[in-house]
Amino acid sequence: MMETKPEMTSSALVELLELFESTAIPVCLDGGWGVDALLQTQTRPHKDVDIILSVADVPKLQELLTMRGFAVREGKPPNSFVLANGAGLEVDVHAVTFDDDGNGIYRMQKGEDWIYPAEGFSGRGLVGGMSVRCLSPTTQVLCHAHGYVPVEKDFRDMELLKECFGVTLPSRLQRKDGGASMDEVAKYNVERWKALARANAVFTRPRFDLDKDSAWEYLDPQRRLGEVVGKDVLCLAAGGGQQSVAFALLGANVTVVDISEAQLRRDAEAAAHYNVNLNLLQGDMRDLSHLSEKSFDIVWHPYSLNFVPDARVVFREVARVLRVGGIYHFTCANPFFIGLGRKDWSGDGYVLRLPYVDGAEITYQDESWIYGEENPDEPIRKCKEYRHTLNTLVNGLIEGVSNPLCN
């Protein structure tokens, strides 16, 4: 059976907001719908709606929505929790206690307080023609600049607010170059992984079936990593919601760097499922300059090195961010067999026809098993990879660790 993909359409949202209004529960829109309310137009699909309301109104809200088939899906009332119904509607509740000055104090899931300034509640917007209360543009910027790492949709939301309201964006909410400097290799992968995620290819399916034991079995059945509780783990080019949440379930502090927003969204879905925190960063494995030197105990790099032509660039970056004594675990194509698939079986063996040249581009059609039962609805560009010779892999790793920054 297909799982219902959550989506909060404008008509569903208007229905909910009318319900809150009719029962005298004042709510203020936060998050993506909050931005679109300010913009008075829906600029992108929304998985859910984020609402801010008074803690005092939470019992009434819960009663009202329980009668309509909603139940707590995540988090814990009264402060921070998600209510969902079976039909794909999700309401992310941020309940605050107002102080004498009208600031809203929000106790987050980890027990820390976030203060919504009183001014923030002055926003007014439109959803589906309905006049609504929403966070002000400046408070939206403030919220986006703290607590989590912006991904593509956040950059876009913030740019739109800047365009419409002239708000100033802090540097962390500004793209480095608007994506303009992305080279062809990066662009190809962004497009391809977007399409693969749409087609639900195996590498884009989050793991929702893990517990601590199976997380160990999945990542490291031989327990070579040792204890990972409290360790800083970089899951490199590892989007998709698999390894990241496995490490998080084992108690590690996890950062994911991946070039694909679609893949990072899968990580966000998996993190929400397990109620764990992930630091999600959209970026290229060849440029980790946004990460500090020696900031990770483990760099976990699933199959992806072959998506870039020069492995040594990545090794140097990994060596820079890895702490002394840290572990770099990576998977890559066999230098000799890369690109060979079932179709290449001659009856006696696999014939090596392609030149054994470092950085050589190798394209091939995806094997059908990566889509499982479901064939993609749209044509997906071929897999484009690059050969890394054994010499490059071995010497590249040695050069990486010989870099003075790694000592």
Ligand X SMILES: C[S@@+](CC[C@H](N)C(=O)[O-])C[C@H]1O[C@@H](n2cnc3c(N)ncnc32)[C@H](O)[C@@H]1O
Q: Which stretches of the chain bind ligand X, using CB under 6 A?
A: 186, 189, 193, 203, 237-240, 242-243, 258-260, 263, 284-285, 302-304, 307-308
Nearer to ligand X, 133 or 301 (CB): 301
Residue 332: CB minimum distance to ligand X, A: 11
Nearest Cα to 327, choosing from 294, 298, 293?
Answer: 298
Nearer to ligand X, 33 or 193 (CB): 193
The one-letter code for the residue type at 354 is L
Nearer to ligand X, 136 or 242 (CB): 242
Asked if 282 and 177 touch (Cβ cutoff 8 Å), the reply is no
Nearer to ligand X, 73 or 205 (CB): 205
Residue 303: CB minimum distance to ligand X, A: 5
Residue 360: CB minimum distance to ligand X, A: 17
Nearest Cα to 186, choosing from 177, 45, 364, 358?
Answer: 177
Q: Is 295 exposed, middle or buried (0-12, 13-18, 19+ CB in 10 A)?
A: middle
Nearest Cα to 285, choosing from 216, 386, 204?
Answer: 386
Residue 304: CB minimum distance to ligand X, A: 3
CA distance 191 to 383: 11
Residue 45: CB minimum distance to ligand X, A: 20
Nearer to ligand X, 137 or 240 (CB): 240
Residue 183: CB minimum distance to ligand X, A: 9
Q: Which residues contact 15 (CB under 8 A, 6 or more apart)?
A: none
Nearer to ligand X, 82 or 268 (CB): 268
CA distance 51 to 28: 6
Nearer to ligand X, 94 or 316 (CB): 316
Asked if 44 and 82 touch (Cβ cutoff 8 Å), the reply is no
Nearer to ligand X, 133 or 265 (CB): 265
Structure tokens at 171: 């540097």
The one-letter code for the residue type at 221 is P
Q: Which contiguous run of DSSP H or E holds residue 118?
A: none
Q: Phi/psi class of residue 405: alpha, beta or left (left: φ > 0; alpha: ψ in -120 to 50)?
A: alpha
For 166, other C-beta atoms within 10 Å of its C-beta total 8
Residue 310: CB minimum distance to ligand X, A: 11
Q: Which contiguous run of DSSP H or E holds residue 31?
A: helix 31-39
For residue 47, give the 3-state DSSP assignment: coil
CA distance 42 to 126: 10
Residue 279: CB minimum distance to ligand X, A: 15
Residue 188: CB minimum distance to ligand X, A: 8
Structure tokens at 247: 């490490």
Nearer to ligand X, 46 or 265 (CB): 265
CA distance 307 to 190: 11
